[in-house]
Amino acid sequence: MNIRPESVRFENHEDGRIGTGEASPRLSWIIPEAPPAWKQEAYAVEVVRESTGAQRFVVTGSEQVLVPWPDAALRSRERARVRVQVRGGAVWSAWSAWAEVEVGLLDRSDWVSQLIAPSWPEDSAELRRPGRLRKVFTVPADIASARLYLTGHGLVEAEINGTRVGDEQLTPGWTSYSHRLRYATFDVTPQLIAGDNAIGVWLGDGWWRGQVGFGSRNVDNYGTRIGALCQLEITDSTGERLIVPSDGSWRASPGPIISSGLYEGERFDARLHDMQWSCADFDQEGWAAVEVLPPVAARLVAPDGPPIRVIEELQPVRIDDRGDGRWILDFGQNHSGRLRLRTNGHRGDIRTFRHAEILLNGEPVYEPLRDAHATDAFICNGEDGYWSPRFTIHGYRFVEVQGWYGPMLPSDVVSQVMHSDMERRGWFSSSDARLNRLHESAVWGLRSNFVDIPTDCPQRDERLGWTGDVQVFAPAATFVYDVVGFLQSWLQDLAVEQETVGHVPLWVPFVQIPILSDYFEVGPTAVWSDVAVLLPHTLYKYSGDLGLVRRQYESAKSFLGAVETLAGADLICPAFAQLGDWLDPAAPPDDPTAALTEKELVATAYFARSAERLAELAHSLGEFTDAARYRRLRERVAVAYAGRFVLPGGLLTSDTQTGYALTTVFHLWPDAAHAQAGAKRLAGLIRAAGWTVGTGFAGTPVIADALTLGGYLADAYRLLQNDQFPSWLYMIKSGATTLWERWDSLRPDGAINDASMTSFNHYALGSVLDWMHTTIAGIAPAAPGFRRIRFAPRPGGTLTSASARHRTPYGEASIAWVDSDHGLHVDVRVPVGTEAEVALPDGITHFVGHGRHSFLADTRN
């Protein structure tokens, strides 16, 4: 067997990403196949750098995930080629293919550019017309390479000589702009020509000064001016570097974008557009001087995660001519993105496109969008071509079109699905097609909401980085996509906001939203703020990235310290300013916090959980004193919890599904007898509810686990496979293509929940995917990064088969089981570099190394 490492990767970056921010990038690789007993005992890394030539570094050990950079640190702009070879026994393997890394601008002094902006006056009471910037420059004949480093206040998109630079969308994304501003790096070598060239930059309001949040016109959150900071660096064949910086020599002009807002949509007048505007010979008569703005105060940082891109295009499944001048397009799937349209109207035609998540009685419903107009408008110039809005994004399945005269053909319009371009990692399938659709819908929920930051919803005037939503959904998310780089970026913002706000805020990046002031003036909120501990814990479990844990450690500790202070001497968290089991089905539409379970119980249970998880993180970091302290704290909280909420006989003061589920899964019962009685009570409650769900954001992620742990697996299956309201499959039965915010976003009487907060694309209730992966299919990491894998399928319900696969950091692991007359057939695949325990439902556990293994479990009685 030919052993050869593959997929050499730097940090958490996608293949070929240039402009990374790590001077000593950690390396990972996978070993696709090796003989059964083979183990990596050493590895060699060959690093080729212009300064030092080729060097080979040999390291003894079995590590292959995020191993330290073996060479001296890289410098700004430096490129290195790397390949890896591994040894098990005496023989070295073949070399991997070369992988390349290129570092971005590491030091502030690398930036010679200035932040520039249009200088005309603007009125912030209105939607402002964004400008464009341009500059002509001369390039020598022998270009070896050219890079564009690009960022700005607001959103930026560059063109060189009439051609768009790169394929990234909504650059630079949304970070805590006052602290961290990301820049993007593009290879623009092929776009330059010897002689005169031009660069142009489109500007958009974006998160910088556009509307963010709801309740009032909440604009200018970071500033009133939008502008670009960009640096074009051209290296010739002798290594000489020519820099074209953004500076006072650029010119500015309003462009054909009349207005653009993330919520509002974009209005584009093609009559004002000259495609040549970013070419050297364009007549820039009338273009004004730019203003050089004060230097960017924030740290300029390279991306940790992937950029937003157009990921795929959806064709309309239906184009409905309403005969009244309106067309309704149905793309068959709720998603986030924008349209790409044919522009073949008559000069002056105004075509409008309003986006909606659902139709009711055949008509689009806009109320759930609240004040987000989600309307794009295109004013035709009589020319044929294609157009997409640049600086807006919508959450929708349907689009209402007006102003389209003549037939509308499938070739006239597609929807471009946009989100952060994370790698797909995990899949699930079963013999119940409804569960497969549930899985798929939750995955679409992730795809719609992982748009540079993890948002709550993609459609209405909100789209904030709500901390609780991603906290509960993270285990599911981490299985289906590689979200580590993406979330690691967001966690850094969480840490900086935590410092400024004084505690972990409910949404990150944090901007003041006056209507929510009650929420942000108080301390940490259970379920939400716990993300500071629980998210690094989840990410570590799935990725093995201890560096990430190290980076977040102070934030996690300081969060828990704040909870300790809040709880005080009795260690019980007060109900004040808690969101509790947010949105359980009993909560009235206008008060989602008025759920059945006591807020103190939810918050104190979470206090114990976070203390336990932080102890584990401290232990992994070798912080043993901390670990012991947090373990003791966790024990004390558990005792306080039992004293306050557990009644004799295994009942709780909150006799609710969520109460029992949290107590069971967080191991808060004082002893086994209580645990048993509590589990029985939980099953009793579920049965009395006809196997419908009674949980909100706090209880939903743990309800199926609690039934499983308590010995009521059959009830867990019945709950999941039930399609009566309220349940997951009720949503699916009602046609959900993404999961809803509320169990009754669409009510059983067919009406839309008229609460002002009703989304059809939230992922929190999709947290049940974790149970589908770990219990139905039965695959979970047993050691960080899946170094040890636990396969423990627990068939049940009406299922006759199920399978899941996941691309672990070591390569693909999978499990498939089929129920037959002979028992349960189980096939697993264990990647090289890992080992697995296969705990079968017949009570037998097998320990196996890498490779494919099959088992038959006797489950016939």
CB of 528 to ligand BGC, least distance (A): 7
457 binds ligand BGC (CB under 6 A): yes
Q: Which is nearer to ligand BGC, 263 or 466 (CB)?
A: 466
Query: Which residue type, as a one-letter code, is found at position 346?
Result: H
User: CA distances (Å), 300 to each of 79, 199, 239, in order?
Assistant: 20, 22, 25
Q: Which residue has the tokens 């929420």?
A: 519
Give the pair of three-digit tokens for residue 178.
């006052």
Strand partners, 55: 47
Binding to ligand BGC by residue 477, rule CB under 6 A?
no
Answer for which of 11, 159, 349, 456 binds ligand BGC (CB under 6 A) is: 456
Task: Find the shortest distance in angstroms from Cβ 494 to ligand BGC.
Answer: 15
Nearer to ligand BGC, 400 or 462 (CB): 462
Closer residue to ligand BGC in complex, CB, 335/787 = 335
| Contacting range for ligand BGC; rule: CB under 6 A; set: 11-19, 106-114, 463-471, 710-718 | 463-471
Contact stretch for ligand BGC (CB under 6 A) within 57-65, 199-207, 271-279, 461-469: 461-469
Question: Binding segment for ligand BGC among 349-357, 455-463, 602-610, 665-673 (CB under 6 A)?
Answer: 455-463
Q: Which span (59-67, 77-85, 465-473, 781-789) binds ligand BGC, by CB under 6 A?
A: 465-473
In this structure, the number of other CB atoms found within 10 A of the CB of residue 356 comes to 25
CA 763 – CA 704 distance, rounded (Å): 17
b vs e for 494-522, b when ≥16 Cβ sit within 10 Å of the residue's Cβ?
bbbbbeeeebbbbbbbbbebeebeeebee
- Which candidate, 70, 74, 79, 71, places its Cα nearest to that of 16? 79
**Interacting stretch for ligand BGC, rule CB under 6 A, among 142-150, 460-468, 532-540, 718-726?**
460-468
Of 227-235, 331-339, 466-474, 828-836: span binding ligand BGC (CB under 6 A)? 466-474
Name the residue nearer to ligand BGC (CB basis): 468 or 694. 468
Could you tell me which of 575, 528, 583 has the C-alpha nearest to residue 694?
583
Closer residue to ligand BGC (CB): 511 or 579? 579
With CB under 6 A as the contact rule, the residue among 462, 482, 493, 616 that binds ligand BGC is 462
Rounded least distance, CB 728 to ligand BGC, Å: 17
Helix (H, G, I), strand (E, B) or coil at 630: helix
Q: Which residues pair with 427 in a beta bridge?
A: 805
- Chain positions 762 to 781 lying near ligand BGC, rule: CB under 6 A, are 762
Residue from 307, 364, 458, 468 binding ligand BGC (CB under 6 A): 468
Minimum CB separation of residue 762 from ligand BGC in Å reads: 6
Site for ligand BGC in 789-828 (CB under 6 A): none
Q: x/- string (CB under 6 A) for ligand BGC, residues 663-702?
A: ----------------------------------------
Give yes or no for a contact between 134 and 201, defined as CB atoms under 8 angstroms apart.
Answer: yes
In three-state secondary structure terms, 281 is coil
Q: Round to whole Å and give the CA distance between 344 and 542.
A: 49
To ligand BGC, the closest distance from the beta carbon of 687 in angstroms equals: 30
In whole angstroms, the minimum distance from the beta carbon of 623 to ligand BGC comes to 31
Considering only residues 362 to 391 of the shown chain, the ones binding ligand BGC according to CB under 6 A are none
Binding to ligand BGC by CB under 6 A, coded x per residue (else -) over 494-533, reads ----------------------------------------
Is residue 579 at the binding interface for ligand BGC, with CB under 6 A as the rule?
yes
**Taking Cα atoms as reference points, which of 642, 637, 646, 599 lies closest to residue 615?**
637
Length in residues, the chain: 861
x/- map, 735-764, ligand BGC, by CB under 6 A: ----------------------x----x--
Alpha-helix residue ranges (DSSP H) falling in 621-721: 624-645, 657-665, 672-688, 700-709, 713-721
Q: Name the 3-class secondary structure at 846.
A: strand
3-state DSSP assignment of residue 493? helix
Q: How far is the CB of 394 from ligand BGC (least distance, A)?
A: 17
Smallest distance from the beta carbon of 757 to ligand BGC, in angstroms?
A: 5
DSSP letters, 80-104, are EEEEEEEEETTEE-PPPPPEEEEE-
Options 94-102, 221-229, 456-464, 721-729: segment touching ligand BGC (CB under 6 A) = 456-464
Q: Measure Cα distances from 188 to 147, 211, 306 in Å.
A: 5, 33, 19
Nearest to 171 by CA among 18, 483, 390, 460: 390
Interacting stretch for ligand BGC, rule CB under 6 A, among 9-17, 267-275, 401-409, 462-470? 462-470
Q: Which is nearer to ligand BGC, 157 or 456 (CB)?
A: 456
Q: Which is nearer to ligand BGC, 462 or 705 (CB)?
A: 462
Backbone angles phi, psi at 78, to 5 degrees: -75, 145
- Return the number of the residue (263 or 268) whose C-beta is nearest ligand BGC: 263
Q: How far is the CB of 466 from ligand BGC (least distance, A)?
A: 4
Q: What's the sign of the alpha-carbon dihedral 761, 764, 770, 771?
A: negative
How many residues touch ligand BGC (CB under 6 A)? 9
Contact stretch for ligand BGC (CB under 6 A) within 140-148, 454-462, 548-556, 674-682: 454-462
Q: Closest approach of Cβ 697 to ligand BGC, in Å?
A: 7
**Contact code string over 413-452 relative to ligand BGC, x by CB under 6 A:** ----------------------------------------
Residue in 469, 493, 770, 819 binding ligand BGC, rule: CB under 6 A: 469
Q: Is there a contact between 199 and 134 (Cβ–Cβ < 8 Å)?
A: yes
Among 38, 43, 404, 466, binds ligand BGC (CB under 6 A): 466
Q: Which residues are catalytic?
A: 462, 741
SS (H, E, C) 210-265: CCCCCCCCCCCCCCCCCEEEEEEEEEECCCCEEEEECCCCCEEEECCEEEEECCCE
| Minimum distance of ligand BGC from residue 698's CB (angstroms) | 11
Nearer to ligand BGC, 157 or 469 (CB): 469
- Give the footprint of ligand BGC on residues 288-347 (CB under 6 A): none
Query: DSSP letters of 714-732?
Result: HHHHHHHH--SSSSHHHHH
CA distance from start to end of the chain: 42
3-state DSSP: the chain helix, strand, coil percent, rounded to 5? 25, 30, 45
Supply the minimum distance, in Å, between the C-beta of residue 789 and ligand BGC: 32
The Cα 328–Cα 401 span in angstroms is 6
* Nearest to 48, CA basis, from 66, 63, 29, 70: 70
d(C-alpha 156, C-alpha 260), whole Å: 12
Dist. CA 640–CA 567, nearest whole Å: 11
**532 vs 552: CA distance, rounded Å:** 8
Q: How far apart are CA 572 and CA 594, in angstroms?
A: 19
Closest distance between ligand BGC and the C-beta of residue 533, in Å? 18
Sites for ligand BGC among residues 86-115 (CB under 6 A): none
Residue (102 or 469) nearer to ligand BGC, CB: 469
Q: Which residues bind ligand BGC (CB under 6 A)?
A: 456-457, 462, 466, 468-469, 579, 757, 762
